[in-house]
Chains A and B, each alone.
Chain A
Amino acid sequence: MATLEIRDLHVSVEAENGPREILRGVDLTVKQGETHAIMGPNGSGKSTLAYSLAGHPKYTVTGGSVLLDGEDVLEMSVDERARAGVFLAMQYPVEVPGVSVSNFLRTAATAVRGEAPKLRLWVKEVKEAMASLQMDPAFAERNVNEGFSGGEKKRHEILQLELLKPKIAILDETDSGLDVDALRIVSEGINRVRSTGEVGTLLVTHYTRILRYIKPDYVHVFAGGRIVESGGAELADKLEEEGYESYVKGGASE
């Protein structure tokens, strides 16, 4: 069973006046089949955690370790992490002009699976995945994220999640900017992937709204660059009522 182990992770970014520490000792273990919600106020570092795990060059790991089934993730390049089974659904997916969605998906699937998928099966697979996310087939011929609406971008991210079948899925604010219908469709897609029991999900979110559709096994409150409280789904209800105020104050006093 795949396990992602994050131990005492410290991460900095380069700021104008030198490096600034954003993650200050994150400990978290995510196992295949589990869903963890990471919740926290803006600026708490939860997106930094997501991007650091994927290996974004902007972030420098200054301490701690991240292991996927005992393998050192921090030693891997961005693409090696993805091939090892780490997937990051981005809050702001990037436009890639001149590269069609179908070409991109096939190139990514070939890389992750280690061989080119059989064409006929692949076409069917993509078609079905797109249909279940209520995406127009014409979408495949558009350039990656170019001119996509907010909802289209997020569906496209979840389409990739469904096709690439990672061991660990990190979903960074996937719910942001979605109307209720799009949120439902995207959540259903995430739930389809979760229901296979093959993926450990790290759901990074500011709002509890998406948790009405996706029931987490664990909820962690993120503040001041680390997890300050962990609990079950009921912790989300508490956050819904009380907000992050108490945690922000606690964080500020450190």
Chain B
Amino acid sequence: MADVQNTTGATTAGSIEVGTAGAGAQLAGPGTGRSTVQQPIDARVAVKPSYDVDDFPVPHGREEDWRFTPLHRLGGLHDGSAASAARGEDKIELGLPEGVTAETVGRDDARLGKAGTPVDRVAAQAYSAFEQALVVTVPKDAVLTEPVKIDVHGEGGVNFAHLVVDVKPFAEAVVVLNHTGSGTRAANVELLVGDGAKLTFVSVQDWERDAVHVAQHNALVGRDASFKSVVVTFGGDLVRLHPRVNYAAPGGEAELFGLYFADAGQHLEHRLVIDHDTPHCRSNVAYKGALQGQDAHAVWVGDVLIRATALGTDTYELNRNLVLTDGARVDSIPNLEIETGEIVGAGHASATGRFDDEQLFYLQARGIPADEARRLVVRGFFAELVQQIGVAEIQDRLMEKIEAELEETVA
């Protein structure tokens, strides 16, 4: 895209300079004199990324990026009313392996705002309204043997949150952000993956049925770094997550996995953007969801941009949905924009279907009762994805969670 320019010479996470031509001064994040990354502006999104909520008009629901979201169920996150409502209390518990630090910092901390800029009004609202941010740092060369745990338990009310996970060069870490409880929450999560570092970031949305959660995840992947995002959404009334990946230097790799299980009335929305503006980077997206019950609604939008500068890019994205009952709805939209042909590969796939009757027949013909056969099929559907996460503890926990969901619901 013509209005984003990449300057040369950037080699480490956070030191890349991206300016917006013709947009005047860079929009103010907290602090000054630090580099920022301007998020890509999708052709379909009219408003430029900004830290300031007032730069975005209140969405009315017909905009491309809001048209699937039931605005009246956002708890006022989009129109300013949540910001003026009473704040709730979060209970946050941290599990920090040795060497990892966690600090609560003010809005002006120089480490904030490096990985990406809010791209919609709710993310900007979160940025404009949070009071303190949590900065988790994994020091250079540290190879963690156990995960960093961030347990967020919502106790009702409105919360605006900001989290930075800074994985320094050549460090390796698994970070698990676990959401339980209730409330209305808007957040930005910044994931800085230093040169040669490896980060697996797991975000679990295990909310009570009435929770509202909107969050933007910005990952900035350093030279030869590996980033893996695992998003697991089971709970909540309305969950809308926006994982985004930018590459700070060549050789970066991003894998984005997602699982969701929407029950009657739930709205679970995942919108992904991978911005390939750097040569020789890879990305792989696989999101799978199951839906059941009246008005269960899943939205998946996967935008992959391969810019003219991104030679040697290799990318693939996939979304699969299993609709278990009547009355559920899926919107699945993969978008691939390619500005150079000098790439290794680019592809996408999306499929939404019901139970395969032939699979069920095969299992039942071996004596397996119908309900157990259905559970086996759904379990298999997710297991295929869970097997790729690569962290045994997380895999086991997810399969248990899926098991519990199946016991409760698929009959």
User: Closest approach, in angstroms, between the C-beta of B361 and any C-beta of chain A?
Assistant: 6
Is the C-beta of A108 less than 8 angstroms from some C-beta in chain B? Answer: yes
Is the C-beta of A135 less than 8 angstroms from some C-beta in chain B? Answer: no
User: Closest approach, in angstroms, between the C-beta of A73 and any C-beta of chain B?
Assistant: 13
Interface membership of chain A positions 124-137, coded 1 if the CB is closer than 8 angstroms to chain B and 0 otherwise: 00000000000000
User: How many of B's residues come within 8 Å of A, CB to CB?
Assistant: 25
Determine if B381 and A98 form an interchain contact, defined as CB atoms under 8 angstroms apart. Answer: yes
Determine if B380 and A99 form an interchain contact, defined as CB atoms under 8 angstroms apart. Answer: yes
User: Closest approach, in angstroms, between the C-beta of B384 and any C-beta of chain A?
Assistant: 4
Comparing A1-9, A88-96, A202-210, the segment that makes contact with chain B is: A88-96
Is the C-beta of B340 less than 8 angstroms from some C-beta in chain A? Answer: no
Q: Give the contacts of B343-370 with A (CB-CB under 8 A).
A: 356-359, 361-370
Partner of B369, one of A79, A94, A160: A79
Which label, helix, strand, loop or mixed, suits the secondary structure of the B interface? Answer: helix
Assuming the contacts A94-B358, A98-B382, asked whether A77 and B364 have C-beta atoms less than 8 A apart, the reply is yes
Q: Which residues of B contact A82 (CB under 8 A)?
A: 364-368
Is the C-beta of B134 less than 8 angstroms from some C-beta in chain A? Answer: no
User: Closest approach, in angstroms, between the C-beta of A241 and any C-beta of chain B?
Assistant: 36
Partner of B380, one of A77, A79, A97, A108: A97
Is the C-beta of B376 less than 8 angstroms from some C-beta in chain A? Answer: yes
Q: CB-nearest residue of chain B relative to A88? A: B365
Q: Which residues of A contact B295 (CB under 8 A)?
A: none
Is the C-beta of B149 less than 8 angstroms from some C-beta in chain A? Answer: no
* Most chain A CB within a 10 A radius of its CB, from B356, B362, B366, B370: B366
Is the C-beta of A226 less than 8 angstroms from some C-beta in chain B? Answer: no
Determine if B384 and A98 form an interchain contact, defined as CB atoms under 8 angstroms apart. Answer: yes
Q: Which residues of B contact A97 (CB under 8 A)?
A: 380-381, 384
Determine if A78 and B380 form an interchain contact, defined as CB atoms under 8 angstroms apart. Answer: no
Determine if B358 and A111 form an interchain contact, defined as CB atoms under 8 angstroms apart. Answer: no
Assuming the contacts A79-B370, A107-B372, A111-B372, asked whether A99 and B379 have C-beta atoms less than 8 A apart, the reply is yes
Is the C-beta of B377 less than 8 angstroms from some C-beta in chain A? Answer: yes
Bound together, the chains give a CA A56 to CA B365 distance in angstroms of 9
User: How many of A's residues come within 8 Å of B, CB to CB?
Assistant: 28
Bound together, the chains give a CA A96 to CA B368 distance in angstroms of 14
Bound together, the chains give a CA A33 to CA B65 distance in angstroms of 67
Q: Give the contacts of B367-397 with A (CB-CB under 8 A).
A: 367-370, 372-373, 376-377, 379-384, 387
Determine if A99 and B376 form an interchain contact, defined as CB atoms under 8 angstroms apart. Answer: yes
Bound together, the chains give a CA A90 to CA B366 distance in angstroms of 11
Q: CB-nearest residue of chain B relative to A83? A: B367
Q: Which residues of B contact A164 (CB under 8 A)?
A: 366-367
Assuming the contacts A77-B370, A79-B369, asked whether A107 and B362 have C-beta atoms less than 8 A apart, the reply is no
* Most chain A CB within a 10 A radius of its CB, from B356, B357, B376, B382: B376
Is the C-beta of A219 less than 8 angstroms from some C-beta in chain B? Answer: no
Is the C-beta of A112 less than 8 angstroms from some C-beta in chain B? Answer: yes
Bound together, the chains give a CA A97 to CA B353 distance in angstroms of 14
Determine if B381 and A94 form an interchain contact, defined as CB atoms under 8 angstroms apart. Answer: no
Q: Which residues of B contact A95 (CB under 8 A)?
A: 359
The contact sample of 7 A-B pairs, CB cut-off 8 A, is: A57-B361, A79-B368, A82-B366, A97-B384, A98-B380, A112-B367, A143-B384
Q: Which residues of A contact B (CB under 8 A)?
A: 54-57, 77-79, 81-83, 87-88, 90, 93-99, 104, 107-108, 111-112, 143, 160, 164
19 additional A-B pairs beyond A56-B361, A81-B365, beta carbons within 8 Å, are: A57-B357, A77-B370, A78-B361, A78-B365, A78-B370, A79-B373, A82-B366, A90-B362, A90-B365, A95-B359, A96-B362, A97-B384, A99-B379, A99-B380, A104-B376, A107-B366, A108-B367, A112-B366, A112-B367
